[in-house]
Amino acid sequence: MKMMFLRAGIVMFAFSAASSHAAGLLDNYVVGFSKAIDTKEASAVAYNWDTRTLMVTNDEEEDDGTNIWGEYDLNGNKTATIILSGCLSLGSSQCDAEGLAYVGNGQYVVAEERYQDIALLSQTGVDGTTRTYTAYPDAPTISVGPDAGNSGLEGIAYNKVTGDFFGVKERSPETIWKISGANFGTETATVTELFDIAALPGLDRLSDIAVLSNGIFSATPFGDNLLILSGRSFNLLEVTQAGQILSSYDLSGFKSLVDPANQGGKFEGLTLDDAGNIYLVSDDGDGPNQSYLLKLSYAGSVPEPATWAMMLGGFALIGSTMRRRKVALAFS
């Protein structure tokens, strides 16, 4: 009996530490670096887990209708220039790549804000450090919502465990979507509103979304949670898929960096690498600001899967012990 309660005590200690850790995930981050990047109007960032690189989008097309993105290593050094063509075929100022997610096998899904579409992009060519990807008109596309002008689909995330996407609509109204069963062959998906945005008070517009399931957090209790970025509010939230806020990270200390001229520079894109480090990109607003890549390094610890197994086994042991005690009392 003493051994039984000793094991239960160890399990409860582990659970207490893990619960405290999980409830304040964003408290475990420290600034890694902030680095100026030459991708203009940086609007989204996605982590490629195959090459361990970051893809950064630009949401404004060139005069010839191309859209120029950048690829960076995890230290913020540029490794490639990315070219997408066909913006002019979408109409004037309609190449608005505001969200990006890596989906494996060298492919990315880009979120177009105004039409509220997600499109699948594949590499089509390479010339030294310059690579080309699927032209916009040729990309298989899934509609997430009706045309929304400059207030539509602002961010996209991909859960490689379940295959689901999550998207955020910037405003009018602010919305968080779950996109299930995405099939780019048939260009269909099921789109549902995840929860009422009123559950996240104090956010002035939504900028991006990220999942915690793709890296070291996948086997933990908070692996199903989401990160929500509001660039205008300089705030990052950890939330459950039911809309409960678990932790937050105040980004206002970076305002003087990303918006020194007070011309609307703000964080627009969000992603995580395998180790749980967070990367954000800022646009240059309406003034002479500079786009930046910010790394928030994860400084916490994640219990090994064996620890979670021990905890679950411990709960079963405690439950069994309590049931036996109740039976004994009933018959005494």
Mean pLDDT, contiguous 10-residue spans, the chain (332 residues): 37 35 79 95 96 94 88 98 85 76 98 93 97 95 92 96 97 95 98 91 92 94 94 96 95 95 92 98 83 96 57 45 38 31
Edge to edge, what strands does the sheet with 153-158 contain? 153-158, 165-169, 175-183, 188-193
pLDDT for the residue numbered 235 = 97
Q: Residue 302 is which amino acid? A: V
Q: Look-up: residue for tokens 């967070």? A: 278
pLDDT for the residue numbered 49 = 98
Superfamily of domain 30-308 in the CATH hierarchy: TolB, C-terminal domain (2.120.10.30)
State whether residue 83 is helix, strand or coil. strand
Which residues, at least 6 apart from 188, have a Cβ–Cβ distance to it below 8 Å?
Answer: 142, 181, 182
Element (H, E) at 97: strand 97-104
pLDDT for the residue numbered 63 = 82
pLDDT for the residue numbered 312 = 43
State whether residue 100 is helix, strand or coil. strand
Picking from 168, 237, 235, the residue whose alpha carbon sits closest to that of residue 204 is: 235
